[in-house]
């Protein structure tokens, strides 16, 4: 498992393609993936043997539905095991081997995003982009005020605006401390640049698709003006799969 997942295509398929490299893949060594109850929760079993993370821990989820989704990802592999096509397993490995040991620093990193959250910084022009940002981001801020009791200030441009301490505390209280939801939220936050988008996804205010679109307002606008970048879109599809894996964890837990 260490060989499979510790360094799988570290910069994603786009960079590998750009350099003319093909990741070395291992042949599938099992017939069937299943699940079984263990002390850690529900483990993925490969031909009756528990799958393990790169650190050697049992690949187990706290909910059966999540373990079944992990097992399905393993069953979907063909002659070779391609970690790039296993975003849920990669996320589970990161949570089990990393977040579980130090949830405090991970939560603190998510909280830091609240101080300079993407949805609080608006363009000064052109009008079309201003309107689109307001349409995608305004409802998230309104929801944060109404549901979380966190009223954020909005700024134009990139000059940092200081958010009130009560606002940061109220929004920070919505960040979960259990490793699985926290790990999934960390992925969404770092991928979107917005802890508020991640909290809204956690609470069911946004779907994964809505969260993704909100995070890419500027990028979508630029592509409409200047044309599509196929390599960027390929990388984006890879990252969206990671977002969907994180959203699945939040939904099932």
In this predicted structure, what is the pLDDT of residue 3?
62
Structure token digits, residue 35: 């699940």
- pLDDT the model gives residue 56: 95
Interatomic CA distance for residues 74 and 88, integer angstroms: 10
Peptide bond into 126 cis (omega under 30): yes
Tens-binned pLDDT, residue by residue, of the chain (253 aa): 666 666 444 444 444 444 444 567 899 999 999 999 999 999 999 999 999 999 999 999 999 999 999 999 999 999 999 999 999 999 999 999 999 999 999 999 999 999 999 999 999 999 999 999 999 999 999 999 999 999 999 999 888 899 999 999 999 999 999 999 999 999 999 999 999 999 999 999 999 999 999 999 999 998 888 887 778 788 889 999 999 999 999 999 9
pLDDT at residue 226, as a whole number: 84
Rounded to whole angstroms, the Cα distance separating 200 from 134 reads 16
Look at residue 9 in the predicted model and tell me its pLDDT: 44
Domains annotated on the chain, with CATH: 2-99 (3.30.2180.10), 103-252 (1.10.3580.10)
User: Residue 44 phi/psi, 5° resolution?
Assistant: -85, 130
Q: Which residue has the tokens 């940061």?
A: 168
Cβ proximity of 152 and 196 under 8 Å? yes
């Amino acid at each position: 498992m260490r060989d499979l997942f510790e360094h799988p295509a570290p910069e994603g398929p786009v960079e590998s393609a750009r350099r003319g490299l093909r990741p070395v893949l291992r042949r599938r060594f099992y017939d069937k993936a299943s699940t079984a109850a263990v002390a850690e929760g529900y483990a993925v079993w490969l031909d009756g043997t528990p799958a393990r993370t790169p650190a050697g821990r049992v690949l187990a989820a706290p909910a059966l539905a999540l373990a079944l989704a992990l097992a399905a990802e393993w069953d979907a592999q063909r002659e070779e095991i391609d970690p790039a096509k296993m975003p849920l397993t990669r996320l589970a490995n990161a949570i089990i081997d990393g977040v579980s040991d130090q949830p405090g620093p991970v939560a603190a990193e998510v909280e830091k995003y609240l101080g300079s959250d993407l949805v609080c910084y608006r363009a000064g022009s052109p009008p079309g982009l201003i309107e689109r940002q307001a349409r995608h981001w305004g409802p998230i801020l309104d929801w944060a005020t109404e549901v979380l009791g966190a009223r954020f200030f909005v700024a134009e441009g990139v000059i940092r605006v200081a958010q009130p301490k009560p606002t940061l505390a109220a929004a920070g209280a919505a960040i979960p401390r259990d490793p699985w939801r926290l790990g999934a939220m960390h992925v969404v936050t770092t991928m979107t640049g917005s802890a508020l988008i991640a909290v809204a996804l956690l609470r069911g205010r946004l779907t994964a698709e809505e969260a993704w679109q909100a995070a890419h307002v500027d990028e979508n606008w630029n592509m409409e003006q200047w044309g599509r970048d196929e390599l960027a879109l390929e990388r984006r599809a890879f990252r969206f799969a990671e977002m969907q894996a994180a959203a699945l964890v939040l939904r099932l837990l």
